[in-house]
Structure 1
């Protein structure tokens, strides 16, 4: 996994060969990130099942409770299979748009 600190978020990019390896690494390194906006870019070369993506719901809830944004990027996911509160998008540009939109909503008190 590669992590990059951007202006308003931390970007995690999968470089592992298996989803389990990436997820295990992320869970160990997530401990101090609930106060940061997080975007995870899962490589399209990972063969990820919907049940595996659902594992990130826990982290999405943590971030929502702490007033930060959590977005998952995965190009070939059916977003209708997940709750509306779970931010899953196909591109980094869309992930940054979700982050910006949620920041505006927080500023307005929603």
Structure 2
């Protein structure tokens, strides 16, 4: 996995060919990221299915409980079929927008 940290978030791009392989590697390193706003970017070289995205549901819920954001970047997914607890957007720019909206909601007490 390729990890890029900014002041506002950590951007992670899988280098593994299979989502389940990335998930194993991600879960091992998760303690490093659990207090950071995360963007997991599947926009390149992945033909990901909704069932695979839902593997990240537990992490997403935990992040929300911690007051941090967790966004998946994946194009070609019908977002109406995604559980509400997962934030899935088609581009990195939209993921950054989601992080900003989440920050505003937290500031307002939502």
- What TM-score, normalized by structure 1, do the two folds share? 0.93
Aligned-residue Cα RMSD (Å) equals 1.2
1:25 aligns to what? 25
Task: Quote the Cα distance in structure 2 between the aligned partners of 1:20 and 1:84.
Answer: 22
Task: Quote the Cα distance in structure 1 between the aligned partners of 2:47 and 2:108.
Answer: 39
Kept in 1: contact 2:11–2:40 (CA 8 A): yes
Q: How far did residue 84 of structure 1 move?
A: 2.3
Query: Alignment partner of 2:109: what SS?
Result: coil
Count of matched residue positions in the alignment of Structure 1 and Structure 2: 110
What are the ranges of 5 or more consecutive residues in structure 2 without an aligned counterpart?
none
- What TM-score, normalized by structure 2, do the two folds share? 0.93
1:37 aligns to what? 37
Q: Deviations over 1:66-108 (max 9, x none)?
A: 0000000001111111122310000000000000001011111
Kept in 2: contact 1:44–1:76 (CA 8 A): no
Task: Quote the Cα distance in structure 1 between the aligned partners of 2:104 and 2:90.
Answer: 22
Q: Deviations over 1:47-83 (max 9, x none)?
A: 3221111010111000000000000000111111112
What are the ranges of 5 or more consecutive residues in structure 1 without an aligned counterpart?
none
Taking the TM superposition and a 5 Å limit, the aligned residue runs for 1:1-110 are: 1-110=1-110
Query: Alignment partner of 2:102: what SS?
Result: helix
Kept in 2: contact 1:12–1:40 (CA 8 A): yes
